[in-house]
Structure 1
């Protein structure tokens, strides 16, 4: 199906719609099959900004991308995401060009959705872009998932601390949660209950009327404890083990895999030969507008409990710092095994690669 794209501007912001058809993938995908990407998640005022919305379960539908607070029409471009070889369509993108006067407006939360043409629930996603600054530093943390201690309690097993590193003398730090203002001050916030979930804006005011600096951290509350998933009115225990940083879905007995890991247990790298990073069937990072063959600078945001993370092999606020020796995977959170202390920072040990038999069963 040929893609159709249109942009509708309104008072609250920009609304981008794509109608498209996509091919069916040939391997397991994240729970929703829909995700958002920002490139770069931390950026300067004069850099070109790309937001991508991608669906990879082979369904026809309509995308939309909205920006919290809106964007002026000048300097905005939209288009379809297609593969150059056969023209298959996987989604659409929003591009905000290099214009200094748009710099501060571009920062904040972007929300995407995918509505099935044949009916059913609308899938939604989000991603974030923040100003490049060392005043407030989340150390690459964009989302945090918290779990209740039991199926009958909203308390967490242990308190979870979220916050920012900041410049010495940076004292005027305020926290907002949604529309609730000044719920906390200082660089850290302690989460104790699943009711603490929500979108937090951490802000330090600038001089005079300046908005100053701000960052977002989204706290996601799982419905059930870890190793459990929602089943009817309650929670069901599962013995499924999610590997390579995967987490159990909130909605069923499935693993949600980190970017570029696939399989029922996230046991395989989404690569056919060890040199390509696949975002979908035949869709490479290099196929995206302004794409990088190694996915440098990509913050990939899935639904359900997984949240947002840097592409495999990268870490940091801008997802542009390579993994150090002995680490690999999304946000560089995985450790190389003793048998391969210098394993590939994108794919980990060689056993994860398709060319070595992974994913053939």
Structure 2
């Protein structure tokens, strides 16, 4: 019996949010449908409802009053049409109440009955203005939510355009300039071999030019990978982070230690890109601003929680910078974490330095992918 009671309570608790959602959708659909109708149609419907309440009020008499129910058509008139309609129905409700209880009211004089009517009209007008304030707040909230959604979509579009532009520049740099430099290097090598075969002293200079070109090609390819890591895909985030550490170590001379990162299959490429960019920005900040002599990058998965962590042994960040995120890089990191429904943390380490962590549930990433697929379709 106890198990049956527990199961029943569980089913009831699970059904309540569903019922509330359905009721909310029904009310929103009804409101939109009624607001699209003409002013006088809504007025006519509310008049009929008011007259029906008045008829019931007449049958029950003054002792069992139905006055509170006159607020229903007033509420609907204000909510669906506006304040003018609500005031009209309020006055009509007062008149209907007057007529419905004229023969059964206990007042000894007409003046007392009239004063009761005035009191009720004031109450009904208060209802009108209260519902008007509620409607104005609801419309203001909807406008604010719409503005936030448009802002979020704009930020998403800006980041998307930035990613596509970086992809184009990175691919052009890798496929265009790098290939041309490699071809020039090959030509320099052939020239050096020809000059060396002829015994010309300039062969050594040609060899130096070839070596310089090879170095430039390597740096250009590293730059192209930094602008757009083409291998960040469904299962390549760990490899991309490892390459990031090697590239930044070569460019800066500071050891970037990438620990054994778990290889998590992520269905959405934009998820991998967001995580990669967060790590890239955190590493860049540690190298540029913290004075660190070592940076560690870690990515682990525990209990369906994916955590990306970048730690340095530098001088740390001021509290105002961590909380406000005044730099463009920090703001971009916060936006990318928000886009992933992740929690971004920037905290001081116990032994000195700064730790940047991004924690996200795999369940949220799957829901995000379904949402993005739905928006694209």
TM-score (norm 2): 0.20
Which of the pair has more CA radius of gyration?
A: 2
Q: Which has the higher strand share?
A: 1
Flag the structure with higher helix content: 2
